[in-house]
Structure 1
Amino acid sequence: MANKRDLKKDINYVLGDIIEEVYAWELENPGKDNKAGEAIIDEAIASFDGFIERMNDKKVENASKHFKAIREDLEKTAKGLLDKVNSL
């Protein structure tokens, strides 16, 4: 399993890329309402904060299982956010 630092980088890159996709969509569609895009960005930021908070939890019994669950949740969250971006 990758170390904690790599997982934090993955969280940052994945959610950052989703936010960049929303910004790119907003630039390509200047006449459309941006509220849906802003909601996706807000959700991505809230997810980022939640993942980092979970990463920094010191009271876990099984670290390997804990980080594996975080990685799986990151994949589910990213997939959901990308589906929302694609539906813009």
Structure 2
Amino acid sequence: MSYTELLERKSEILKKTVENWISRENRDGLNLQEAHIYRNMLKELHQNEHELNGVRDEEVVKRRDSESTEKDDTFTAREPEAQTV
């Protein structure tokens, strides 16, 4: 499992947990301790999403670099065309 997949899975779990806290808050309300846990969970979700976006951006840049390197390699590997005079 790659780091990106790990962050995606963590994000899914955090989203489900936050949804449960929201429904509980709407249904029963939260005491101070529960509200503290809920806020920390939201912070963790936002931090995870930020990190996930950063990792995805890095992967896109690496992919672009490798594609451009491959194109450069194929261009330089071609035989020079015969010139007609």
TM-score over 0.5 for the pair: no
Structure that is richer in helix per residue: 2
Q: Shorter chain as normaliser: what TM range? A: 0.3 to 0.5
Based on CA coordinates, which of the two structures has the bigger radius of gyration?
A: 2
> What is the TM-score with the length of structure 1 in the denominator?
0.42
> What is the TM-score with the length of structure 2 in the denominator?
0.43
